Amino acid sequence: MSLDKTKSDGTVGKALEILDLVASFGRPVRFSDVLDVAEFPKATVYRFIQTLTSQGMLSYDPDRQTYALGIRLVRLAHSAWQQSSLAPVAHPHIEKLARDVGETVHLAQLDHAQVLYVDKIDPGKPIEMFSQAGKVGPAYCTGVGKAMMAYLEAPHLAEVIGQQSFHVFTEFTLSDETALRAELVDIRSNGYGFDREEHEPDIICVALPILTARGRVLGALSVTSSTQRTSLAALEALVPRIQMAVTAIANEAESWRFPDQSKFQSIETAKG
Amino acid sequence: MSLDKTKSDGTVGKALEILDLVASFGRPVRFSDVLDVAEFPKATVYRFIQTLTSQGMLSYDPDRQTYALGIRLVRLAHSAWQQSSLAPVAHPHIEKLARDVGETVHLAQLDHAQVLYVDKIDPGKPIEMFSQAGKVGPAYCTGVGKAMMAYLEAPHLAEVIGQQSFHVFTEFTLSDETALRAELVDIRSNGYGFDREEHEPDIICVALPILTARGRVLGALSVTSSTQRTSLAALEALVPRIQMAVTAIANEAESWRFPDQSKFQSIETAKG
DNA sequence: AAACTAAGTTTCAAATAATGGAACCAAAAT
DNA sequence: ATTTTGGTTCCATTATTTGAAACTTAGTTT
């Protein structure tokens, strides 16, 4: 049926496609905005938007007649973040790490073929929020992305690599699969990798993968700085300290069990 | 079916119901956990979970054979938070407010019949994240909840009130519709309301609604403290200062337009 | 004011996808 | 070795989604 590889999981998949579409605008949109970029007929897009709005996945601003992503997503993301075996467990560790090394620390996971930052601590500006967590970036030219890819199983890796754009951001960007694969072998043999101004000029980082005992990739941790402030060699010197945090996180993440709370709050709470 | 509110928006609504179900556990769940509480037959629940997982709305932990909310939600929530006309605009104001008054400030919106906290600043502990934003609470016994309800249109208010549980948390909890409606009239005449230990013992707050020029409820702002630290009268004295923030936020939220970025990042970024 | 146009909403038969009882499989428990 | 439990697949039936087109505003133009 679906000619392309877009394995649209039925109706639900299509609805989520609309949701992503709205997200991709990065601003509230008019019905026709969505219609223009959607590949479904008018009535279909209309009904999906209606459904999503009624479900709180989209919100409608009657004054401006625009749709935006709904707050139900914020609620769900709160749960997602909490439920994740990685982020809540890692938070105290990366906070401490950030203070110790005095540089920005990122915690990332792989979301399809992209890097998704699930936490960030910048010792400089203490208060950050959703503005940082939830951000996505390219995998092939970030420290965390490469660190994670280096430890993927061959078939999964192939899939992920296939989805990289290899857009050239700087003169140091790895611009093809061959270069990337070579780099990954390197990272794997060292246990850590760098971002050598591959994504943004002057920005460099060291990154380590976070793995389960069985070797499955949970995420990655990076310490980021700039060429003005420090050097790759100096960052490399931090590896043992970062490794400490990584090990602690990996151990805790694996042994972590949720407290036995059989009496949970149902979502129908408000109905009582 | 049963209760009136079950306006299950077709397949998509059902899928999202499953998603909420998973969220409600507050921990990773086994397939059978979901099956037990879901009101759909086995095969249906199974396929929904498959679809949601393949879509990244759920994540599957192969080691533990459990499902949890997926990281795609975190990515979407990031966009939701950014796109919201309220939260990003309000953030600097509530940060300043929190510093000025030296107490915890909450920014909340109404999510169906519940209060959803979209931001929180605690001058004491600077770093908080998803751990706070995204939290939900009851509307009928929180300052922000009542402040928002006080300014809803009659039909909408009736609907929201109908969904309140009126669970008695403390001896001060408003325990029925009559008491609540009386309180709302009061709040409306003052322009602000309190939480008089109605939700948690010792915890008190003042809350003001954030309204558009046309009077539509955008959200609410509250300053929270405890009976040990301060009194209702002292909190009331802060109203003018809070009102400043509210007015600033309301104005900015209404005049806010997203920068004209016709060349937006498509979700297909990774495919280039 | 009438005529056009654009944006949003509703209709309804046809096409398609969801449903769910039952069978199946695998692994654990007896 | 046999039963139970938890998870996955099948497939005929059923119900939902689909989408062209008609319709309704609201906003412009003549």
CATH number, residue A197: 3.30.450.40
Nearest residue to nucleotide C17, by CA–C1' distance, is: A10
Considering chain A, what is the average pLDDT of its residues?
83
Q: Tell me what pLDDT residue A207 has.
A: 97
Residues B119 and B63 in one domain: no
Q: Which of A7, A12, A265 sits opposite B24 (nearest CB)?
A: A265
Other C-beta atoms lying within 10 Å of the C-beta of residue A233: 7
Q: Is residue A78 part of a domain?
A: no
Record: contact A80-B91, CB cut-off 8 A: no
Residue B118 tokens read as 């979209």
- CA of B42: nearest nucleotide by C1' is C20
Q: Report CA(B32)–C1'(C28) in Å, whole number.
A: 16
E strand intervals along chain B: 58-61, 66-69, 104-111, 114-121, 136-138, 193-196, 203-211, 217-226
Q: Tell me what pLDDT residue A6 has.
A: 41
pLDDT above 70: residue A121? yes
Residues A150 and A24 in one domain: no
Residues B139 and B238 in one domain: yes
* Residue span of the structural domain in which A118 resides: 84-255
Q: Which residues of A touch B114 (CB under 8 A)?
A: 269-270
Q: Is residue B265 part of a domain?
A: no
Domain boundary among A18, A49, A73: A73
The string over B34-64, giving b where at least 16 C-beta atoms fall within 10 Å of a residue's C-beta and e elsewhere, is: bbeebeeeeeebebbbebbeebbbbbbeeee
d(CA A118, CA B171): 40
Q: Is residue A267 part of a domain?
A: no
Q: Report CA(B40)–C1'(C20) in Å, whole number.
A: 9
d(CA B180, CA B152): 14
CA angle (A163, A165, A168) in 5-degree steps: 155
Record: contact A51-B130, CB cut-off 8 A: no
Residues A203 and A225 in one domain: yes
Residues A104 and A41 in one domain: no
pLDDT tens-digit profile of A67-100? Answer: 889 888 888 888 888 777 688 889 889 989 998 9
pLDDT tens-digit profile of A230-241? Answer: 999 999 999 999
Q: Which of B10, B63, B74 sits opposite A118 (nearest CB)?
A: B74
Question: Closest Cα to residue A134, out of A23, A208, A57?
Answer: A23
Record: contact A111-B261, CB cut-off 8 A: no
Residues B126 and B46 in one domain: no
Which of B20, B111, B129, B180 has the most A C-beta neighbours within 10 Å, making it the best mutation to test the interface with A?
Answer: B129
Q: Is residue B272 part of a domain?
A: no
- CA of A39: nearest nucleotide by C1' is D19
Record: contact B129-A91, CB cut-off 8 A: yes
Q: Tell me what pLDDT residue B262 has.
A: 29
* Residue B143, phi then psi, degrees to nearest 5: -60, -50
For residues A139-151, give the mean pLDDT: 96
In terms of C-beta density within 10 A (0-12 exposed, 13-18 middle, 19 or more buried), how is residue A198 classed? buried
B190 Cβ contact partners less than 8 Å away, ≥ 6 residues apart: none
E strand intervals along A18-157: 58-61, 66-69, 104-111, 114-121, 136-138
pLDDT above 80: residue A215? yes
Q: Is residue B155 part of a domain?
A: yes
Q: Report CA(A195)–C1'(C12) in Å, whole number.
A: 58
Residues B221 and B143 in one domain: yes
d(CA A30, CA A26): 12
Sheet bearing B217-226, strands edge to edge:
B136-138, B114-121, B104-111, B217-226, B203-211, B193-196
Residues A35 and A130 in one domain: no
CA A203, A206, A212, A214 torsion-angle sign = positive
Domain boundary among B24, B48, B73: B73
Which of B34, B59, B83 has the most A C-beta neighbours within 10 Å, making it the best mutation to test the interface with A?
Answer: B83
Other C-beta atoms lying within 10 Å of the C-beta of residue B191: 14
Q: Is residue A79 part of a domain?
A: no
Q: Answer whether B22's CB lies under 8 Å from B29's CB.
A: yes
Residues A248 and A133 in one domain: yes
Residues A101 and A60 in one domain: no
Q: Which residues of B touch A133 (CB under 8 A)?
A: 74, 78, 129-130
Which strand C nucleotides have any atom less than 7 A from protein CB atoms? 7-11, 17-23
Q: Is residue A174 part of a domain?
A: yes
Instruction: State the nearest Cα–Cα gap between B247 and chain A, in angstroms.
Output: 18
Residue B113 tokens read as 């019949």
- Protein contacts of strand D with Cβ less than 7 Å away: A 11, 14, 40-44, 47-48; B 9-12, 30-32, 35, 42-43, 46-47, 50, 65
Alpha-carbon distances of A175 from A114, A150, A201, A217, B162, rounded to whole Å: 16, 17, 15, 24, 59
Return per-residue pLDDT of chain B as tens, 272 residues. Answer: 322 333 457 888 888 988 888 888 888 888 888 888 888 888 888 888 988 888 889 888 777 788 889 888 888 888 888 777 688 889 889 989 998 999 999 999 998 788 988 888 877 655 444 446 778 899 999 999 999 999 998 888 998 999 999 999 999 999 999 999 999 999 999 999 999 999 999 999 999 999 988 788 999 999 999 999 999 999 999 999 999 999 999 988 876 554 433 222 222 222 22
Q: Which of A54, A55, A165 sits opposite B271 (nearest CB)?
A: A165
Q: Tell me what pLDDT residue B265 has.
A: 28
Domain boundary among A73, A96, A114: A73
For residues A147-165, give the mean pLDDT: 92
Residues A62 and A106 in one domain: no
Q: Report CA(A58)–C1'(C20) in Å, whole number.
A: 31
The string over A176-188, giving b where at least 16 C-beta atoms fall within 10 Å of a residue's C-beta and e elsewhere, is: eeeebeebbeebe
Residues A144 and A212 in one domain: yes
- CATH number of the domain enclosing B56: 1.10.10.10
pLDDT tens-digit profile of A10-56? Answer: 888 888 988 888 888 888 888 888 888 888 888 888 888 988 888 88
Measured over all CA atoms, what is the biggest interatomic distance in chain B, rounded to whole angstroms? 60
Q: Report CA(B11)–C1'(C17) in Å, whole number.
A: 10
Task: Locate the chain B residue with the closest alpha carbon to A265.
Answer: B24
Q: Tell me what pLDDT residue B135 has.
A: 81
Instruction: State the nearest Cα–Cα gap between B58 and chain A, in angstroms.
Output: 9
Record: contact B130-A87, CB cut-off 8 A: yes
Q: Tell me what pLDDT residue B85 has.
A: 66
Q: Is residue A268 part of a domain?
A: no
First and final CA of chain A: distance in angstroms? 45
Total domains in the fold of chain A: 2
Residue B139 tokens read as 């509307």
